[in-house]
Structure formats: structure tokens, C-alpha cells
Amino acid sequence: MLPYGKQTIGKDDIEAVVDALKSNWLTTGPLVSTFETTFSQTVGSQHAVSFSSGTAALHAAMHAAGIGRDANDEVIVPAITFVATSNAVLYQNAKPVFADVNSDSLLIDPEDVARKITPNTKAIVAMDYAGQPCNYAALRALADQHNLVLISDACHSLGGAIGSNRVGNLADFTCFSFHPIKQITSAEGGMVTTNSDPATTTLKEFRNHGITTDHRQRESKQQHQYAMESLGFNYRLTDLQCALGLSQLAKLNRFTRRRNDIARFYRSLLKPIPHVNPLQTRTGIEHAHHLFVIRWDQESTGLSRDQAFEQLRERKIGVNVHYQPVYQHPYYVNRFGDQTGLCPKAEHAYREILSLPIFPLMKEEDVRLVAEQLQAITQAKPNTLSKAA
Ligand SMILES: Cc1ncc(COP(=O)(O)O)c(C=O)c1O
């Protein structure tokens, strides 16, 4: 099976982790701050604070943004995203309010965000779906107008940019994930970038039980006392993971170039296939191409998206679907009621989207094979939709 995503691990990555294993610090050691400093330099932010996952990073960003300080706080999130984006709002006892997406890009629609703002809204979350940066200019204007915090869920978009502004420096807080299929990996891991000094202190405390110093700081001062000043978690990233993250970060540009080459090749091969429509890319942006998403035209093929999914998998093409609108998940339906119809463009898109394999190690012949199979499945089984319905 050709997977839809896969890590790229080299000898240098393995050596970096082995070196960390042989050092005195397996966690809270010097590689944590080296990774953070190198990461902030890479994305152009003033600060970077590492976390044990992208989910922990989102939770910490919500906390640092003050979400949940008032009862009835609301945060606007896109309907199409991984559940972690809106779960982070729930962790802070606030309410996620879902905004629809633009049909051509599946990025959060600033016009629908504007419609969903109420006196209880505290923040907007922009999620850079598939690796494409959102319309941050429009979202920033709304955030400034209504005094809201702008949080970027950039778990797909490390390496992306708008003009010369890199993802990581386009919002008040930007959250990244280093899960294996992401742009770079630390196995599990995450990062928050920000330009705020006080928020950086809050983020560091939050990942360490709400304690104001870490183990290494106390060791260097020969101190045993510590003060827990707020309620936090153990969300720390280990030195082993930071060693891997650092080694991977050095290859980010190469990985991003390769993903973009693969995406370009897909676009040229898919152009003549009328029932396969890749999402559109906004002008002036640098796409990070975490995913390559197409819309499957079931009307003209007679095959539903799920039938296309099954047939491609039978042909060893590991396609996937990102994502069902979050409010359709059973937990959200049980907690907030049936919100069907809330975001019609997201609901429609969910019936059509397919993520094709894309990862730096993919070869040209793999891309060709995916395009050939996409072409072939409609010819193999015409008009099965009406039979299946
Ligand atoms: C959009 C989005 N947000 C958040 C996350 C959570 O990241 P992690 O898996 O590192 O917790 C992911 C990861 O899959 C994601 O794709």
C-alpha cells in the first residue's frame, strides 16, 4: 500500500537521537532550548515553546490566550479540521463555534467568521488546511476590530508563508505538530510560537505543572524549592525528541521543495481527468503541501467518494479523508445537539474530498500510478452510484 503520508528518517536523525541518549539529559535538558531557538529563527518568531504534541500546544495556546477565564467564552474554529483544534477550546471550558470554509480551498471563510462573532467571542482559530496559509489579513482585521486573539493551528503548514512572512509569525499564537506524517517529526511533539514575552512565560509554566522553574534551572542554581503558581500539566518534550526535531528541522526546506514538486506533478497529471479537481491555491502564498486534496465528482463518475476510496485502497493507493465537519462527531452531537446545516460548504465538501498520497520520499512513478488509478476506477465501474444508493 502506498501510504498517504510517511516520515523521512535518515542516518543523521538516528545518530542525533543516539547522541542524546548517551548524554546526561533525556528530558528538560539543553536540547529543548536549542530546538526552540532554532525553530523560532526558522519561522521568524520571537519565541518558541515546545510541547509533547500539537494538541498540547493548542491547549496551552488557549490557556495563554485567556480562553475560559469568563463563563460563556466562545472561540470560532473552522468546521473542517482535526478534532484537536476544537477539543482544545473544550479543555478550557469554552464553547467552539464553527465557521464554514471556502469551497475552493477549504480554508476558514472570514465572512462566515464575521457572522459568527458575538459579545462572548474571545478568539478565532485559523487552520491552514492541507498546508495552505489562511487569509490572515482578513482574519487579523476582524480580530483587531473585535479585540479578539488570533490563534493559528499550523499543524499542516510548517514551511508555508504569505509573501515574506512565514507561518509562525502570522498570528498571536501559532501551534505546530511534529507527528510522523507532518512536515518534520519528533515522533510526537508540538510547538507554540509567539512574539509576546509574558505569554511565553505562561506557556512554559503551563507545560510544567504551573511551576515557575524547571529541573535544569534548579540544578544550575543548586536549589530545591519550587513554586507552583497556576494549574498546569506535564506537556514537556524530551531531549530525545528535540534531538530528532532539530535534525529534521535542518531538512525542512528540502522536504517542502519536494512536497511542492510532487504537488505540481499531480496537478499536471490530473488536469486532463475531468472528475478529479485539486483544491485551489491562493495567489501570493507558499504552500507547505502537508496534504494533496482533491474533490471527487460523483455526479459525473457515478461513484461516490466512499466507493472511490474503497476502490483506490483495493488498488493499493492509501487515500484518506480529511476531515468530517467536527460538529458531526457523536461527542459533539451529544453535547451540543444536531447542528446539521450549520456549515453547508463544509458538509458538501466532506462528501467529495480525498487526500492523495504525498510525502518527500514519494517517487515520480508513485505519483503517476496514483493518477492512472484515479483515471482507471471510473472506467472500471461506470454508474454504480445509483445501484448503491
Ligand atoms: C489540524 C491539526 N490540528 C491539531 C493536530 C494535533 O496534533 P498532534 O497529533 O501532534 O497532537 C493535528 C494532528 O494531526 C492536526 O492535523
Amino acid (1-letter code) at residue 135: N
Strand (E) or helix (H) holding 280: none
Distance (Å, whole) CA 195 – CA 183: 23
Distance (Å, whole) CA 140 – CA 145: 8
The predicted structure's pLDDT at residue 6: 96
Provide the percentage of residues in the chain whose pLDDT is more than 70. 97
**Ligand 1 pocket by C-beta < 6 Å: which residues?**
53-55, 81-82, 84-85, 127, 153, 155-156, 177, 179, 190
- CA separation (Å) from 115 to 154, 178, 348? 24, 33, 20
Q: Look up residue 98 and give its three cell numbers.
A: 464553527
Q: Look up residue 131 and give its three cell numbers.
A: 498546508
Whether residue 288 contacts residue 158, with contact meaning beta carbons closer than 8 Å, is answered with yes
Q: Look up residue 355 and give its three cell numbers.
A: 487526500
**Model confidence at 388: pLDDT above 50:** no
Q: Which of 59, 62, 82 to mutate to test the pocket of ligand 1 (most atoms within 8 A of CB)?
A: 82
Q: Whose CA is nearest to atom 14 of ligand 1?
A: 82
Min mean pLDDT across 142-156, 176-190, 324-338, 367-381 is at: 367-381
Residues annotated catalytic, as ranges:
182
Place of cell 495556546: 61
Domains of the chain: 11-251 (3.40.640.10), 253-388 (3.90.1150.10)
Over residues 251-259, mean pLDDT: 98
**Model confidence at 387: pLDDT above 90:** no
Q: Look up residue 114 and give its three cell numbers.
A: 464575521
129 CA closest ligand 1 atom index:
1
Q: What is the pLDDT of residues 306-346, one digit of tens each?
A: 999 999 999 999 999 999 999 999 999 999 999 999 999 99
Ligand 1 centre to CA of 153 (Å) is: 8
157 closest CA partner among 33, 282, 325: 282
Q: What is the pLDDT of residues 74-123, one digit of tens each?
A: 999 999 999 999 999 999 999 999 999 999 999 999 999 999 999 999 99
**Model confidence at 219: pLDDT above 90:** no
The predicted structure's pLDDT at residue 380: 61
Q: Which of 90, 155, 290 to mutate to test the pocket of ligand 1 (most atoms within 8 A of CB)?
A: 155
Ligand 1 centre to CA of 169 (Å) is: 19
Q: What is the pLDDT of residues 12-41, one digit of tens each?
A: 999 999 999 999 999 999 999 999 999 999
In sequence order, which residues have a C-beta less than 8 Å from that of residue 121 and are 6 or more positions away? 74, 75, 76, 97, 146, 148
The predicted structure's pLDDT at residue 366: 98
311 closest CA partner among 292, 289, 291, 296: 296
Ligand 1 centre to CA of 380 (Å) is: 36
